[in-house]
Chains A and B, each alone.
Chain A
Amino acid sequence: DAKTTQPPSMDCAEGRAANLPCNHSTISGNEYVYWYRQIHSQGPQYIIHGLKNNETNEMASLIITEDRKSSTLILPHATLRDTAVYYCIVRVAKNAGNMLTFGGGTRLMVKP
């Protein structure tokens, strides 16, 4: 699996967009970028994933650079409930799922 690099922590003002970067310069052509988050004392929550095109769902947007060496998760209007550790994971997609390797993630603190 390709290694990812994320800043250890970030702050964001409530109501503003939170932009969380992830570097994955060794990503392979068949590897997807997945984003999960973990709110304190809860199990991780799937957010979004993509291969090369930008993706958007009800939770967030995922912007992947053209060379696929980095990506940004965007929470358009951060709320206090978005305070969590955000994990960027690069992995080949397989049917029936496959285990995930978690790095340190980015601890996002949304402040009033």
Chain B
Amino acid sequence: GAVVSQHPSRVICKSGTSVKIECRSLDFQATTMFWYRQFPKQSLMLMATSNEGSKATYEQGVEKDKFLINHASLTLSTLTVTSAHPEDSSFYICSAGGLAAGVQYFGPGTRLTVT
């Protein structure tokens, strides 16, 4: 299957700082990538749809000014959590599709802890 990577896999930051998470499709091009968030013992929740060369589409309740998404190339999307607070601590996962219709390939996730 297709490979999607994320970096970093784990990050700890202080409250008020910003953190950037990278999502790369390693062996295919993805015009669309998705960002999900998962809190402990809960299912994945879609945060936003990242479109190459255009603005991201955010789900209701997700602050676009807090979670900045940039999809500058067909293989890279970044999520920046600005002015992070402890309640932003979560598991962030990206996905990309484009090979088989409807199939999404997920990154390994990034564990963010805000102290």
Q: How does the 8 Å CB contact mask read for A38-69 relative to B, with 1 for contact and 0 for none?
A: 10011111100100000000000000000000
Mask, B1-18, CB within 8 Å of A = 1, is 100101000000000000
Q: Is the interface of A mostly helix, strand, loop or mixed?
A: loop
Cα A97 to Cα B34 in complex, Å, equals 10
Bound: A32/B105 CA distance, A? 16
Nearest A residue (CB) for B99 = A97
Complex contact A101–B106 (CB within 8 A) = no
Q: A29 to nearest B CB, angstroms?
A: 15
Q: How large is the interface on B (under 10, 10 to 19, 20 to 34, 35 or more residues)?
A: 20 to 34
- Residue numbers of B with Cβ under 8 A of A are 1, 4, 6, 30-32, 34, 36, 43-46, 49, 91, 93, 95-98, 100-109, 111
Chain A: how many interface residues by the 8 Å CB criterion? Answer: 27
Chain B residues, Cβ within 8 Å of A75? none
Q: Which residues of B contact A46 (CB under 8 A)?
A: 1, 103-106
Evaluate contact between A94 and B102: CB separation under 8 angstroms.
yes
| Contact between A44 and B101, CB atoms less than 8 A apart | no
Can you report 9 A-B residue pairs in the complex whose CB atoms are below 8 A from each other? A32-B102, A43-B93, A44-B104, A95-B98, A96-B31, A98-B102, A98-B104, A100-B95, A102-B45
User: Do residues A93 and B101 form an inter-chain contact, with CB atoms below 8 A?
Assistant: yes
A10 to chain B, nearest CB (A): 17
B98, B101, B105 pick with most chain A CB within 10 angstroms: B101
CA A46 – CA B105 in complex, angstroms? Answer: 7
Report how far A49 CA is from B101 CA in the complex, Å.
10
Measured CB to CB, the closest approach of chain A to B73, in angstroms, equals 15
B104: contacting residue among A92, A100, A103, A104, CB under 8 A = A100
